[in-house]
Amino acid sequence: MSRTRIALATCASWPELDADGPELVAALAAEGLDADLVAWDDPAADWASYPLVVIRTTWDYWDRHAQFLAWARSVPRLVNSADVVAWNTDKIYLRRLQAAGIPVVPTVWVAPGEDFVTPDHPFVVKPSVSAGARDTAAYDGGDPLATEHVARLHAAGKTVMVQPYVDAVDSAGETAVLVFGGVVSHGARKSAVLTVGEGEVALGSWSMQARTPSAEEQALALRVVEVASSWGEDLLYARVDLLPGPLVIELEVTEPSLYLTLAPGSAARFAAAVAGRLASLSSGAATPRS
């Protein structure tokens, strides 16, 4: 088998990928793809030399959003692409999903300079540009600490999302549905991340376990991917995060954790999707969607 060298985009904080790394690199190798791990902001990186660059653990861009978007636009063959990165790294895309008929967690958007009205029921405050539950907390209705939280996010120039706290998540958790190349690969269950009244969540203060998504959850995930793909191109990979309902809380198509270690064979499925995309690019087949 001929060998091809691709790049997996990382960051200085996660240079060796996450727990999925060994299985991912081995699965890519089995497809004839040797992976270089390269930090996205490495000034010495020659991105144009790679036939494909796959975003993986670029988990330090939250406070350098504009720089990250500029980097994405500079990479010739990036997946998911710079256009996808641009809309997906600001959760305002949830508006577009809702407009397309996707059931999403109801959200009030409060931009800097706009007034925040404290809900009278348990609710969640988070910035629209973030990941890993950074700067996120759940509050009881009327809690004045929420006003301070919103003010701090506004002072940093961030748009705030205010969502009702879905208490069914306390027992059921969140369900992640992983879709590779338009096909459901596997699922995972995340324990409840937030506790009402206990302040901002600590990174990684939740547990993950394998879970087979229900038929309804899988169908919703595929519908979300179909809608998002219609915005410009077929998505190589997607993680659709669902709350009980099911309701979409997030669509991760930039740098999602893939939970490959929880599902035997999932690394091979991801690697096969990567190899398929590379073959399409090499043959000149188009991936954009009208």
CATH topology of domain 169-262: D-amino Acid Aminotransferase; Chain A, domain 1 (3.30.470)
Buried b (16+ CB within 10 A) or exposed e, 1-33: eeebebbbbbbeebeebbebbebbbebbeebeb
212 backbone dihedrals φ, ψ, rounded to 5°:
-90, 115
In terms of pTM, does the model score above 0.75? yes
Q: In what order do the strands lie in the sheet with 33-39?
A: 33-39, 4-10, 53-55, 78-79
Beta strand 183-190 pairing with 4-10: unpaired
Query: 46: how many CB neighbours lie within 10 A of its CB?
Result: 9
Structure confidence by residue, pLDDT tens digits, 160-183: 989 888 887 777 888 999 999 999
Per-residue pLDDT averaged across 7-32, rounded? 94
Statement: residue 256 has pLDDT above 90: yes
Label residue 151 by pLDDT band (50, 70, 90): very high
Write down the pLDDT at residue 39.
Answer: 97
Per-residue pLDDT averaged across 139-164, rounded? 90
Single-letter amino acid code for the residue at 155: A
**DSSP code string of 242-281:** EETTTEEEEEE-SS----GGGSTTHHHHHHHHHHHHHHHH
**Measured between alpha carbons, how far apart are the two ends of the chain, in Å?**
35
CATH number for 4-89+269-280 (one of 3.90.220.20, 3.40.228.10, 3.40.50.20, 3.30.70.270): it is 3.40.50.20
Structure confidence by residue, pLDDT tens digits, 173-221: 889 999 999 999 999 998 777 667 665 665 556 678 999 999 999 999 9
- Closest alpha carbon to 238 in 172, 279, 184: 184
Q: What share of the chain is helix, strand, coil (3-state, %, to 5)?
A: 30, 25, 45
- Closest alpha carbon to 224 in 245, 244, 239: 239
- Closest alpha carbon to 187 in 175, 170, 203, 205: 175
Q: In DSSP terms, which residues pair with 158 in a beta bridge? A: none
Domain boundaries, the chain: 4-89+269-280, 108-164, 169-262
Structure confidence by residue, pLDDT tens digits, 112-134: 999 999 998 989 998 887 766 67
User: Is 137 or 87 the better-scoring residue by pLDDT?
Assistant: 87
Rounded Cα gap, residues 250 and 242, in angstroms: 7
Write down the pLDDT at residue 158.
Answer: 87
Helix, strand, or coil here: 28? helix
Rounded Cα gap, residues 182 and 172, in angstroms: 26
